[in-house]
Amino acid sequence: MKFKQSGVTLIGFLIIMAIVGFLGYMAMKLLPSYSEYMGVVKAMNQVATEGTNGKTLDDIRRGLMFKMGFQYVDDATIKPANITIKRDAGGTSQLQVVYDKQIPFMYNIDFLLHFNKSVPLQGNVGQ
């Protein structure tokens, strides 16, 4: 009787492990940035639900930066200039945070992540 062996050879297994290791390394580099983005979104939602009656853009920025500190968002990641308020034609205001993050990967290869989030504000924003 002849039995046919099946399975992965050692070389095939090493190639699979190299690919899995590479993807795992990429995930280890990228996941902290997305976790930080989730903290930004949470802080933005907190500021938006508080209400903004009579608050100026500087007050909103200061409050958002304070709340992002509790969410472990790095101060070097988001600057106050990245926080803006967009007014629609209908009179509604939206809090918008737009920023880029560059993550070194290996040698001269970097990842450039672009984040853009808007949430509607409740209340009137002062000048």
Q: pLDDT digits over 92-101, tens only? A: 888 899 999 9
The candidate with the shortest Cα–Cα distance to 47, out of 62, 34, 35, is 62
Q: Which of 62, 92, 96, 95 is nearest to 80 (CA)?
A: 62
**Run of H or E including 27:** helix 10-50
**Domain locations in the chain as residue ranges:** 32-120
Name the nearest CA neighbour of 40 among 99, 86, 88, 87.
Answer: 99
Query: What mean pLDDT comes out for the span 54-73?
Result: 86
What tens digit of pLDDT does each residue of 14-37 get? 999 999 999 999 999 999 999 999
pTM, full prediction: 0.81
Helices and strands (DSSP H and E) totals, the chain:
2, 3
Answer yes or no: are the C-beta atoms of 116 and 44 closer than 8 Å.
Answer: no
Residue 48 has pLDDT above 90, yes or no: no
Q: Residue 122 pLDDT more than 60?
A: yes
Place of tokens 């990228």: 30
Model confidence at 75, pLDDT cuts 50, 70, 90, reads confident
Q: Tell whether the model's pLDDT for residue 85 goes beyond 60.
A: yes
The answer, yes or no, to whether residue 126 has pLDDT greater than 70, is no
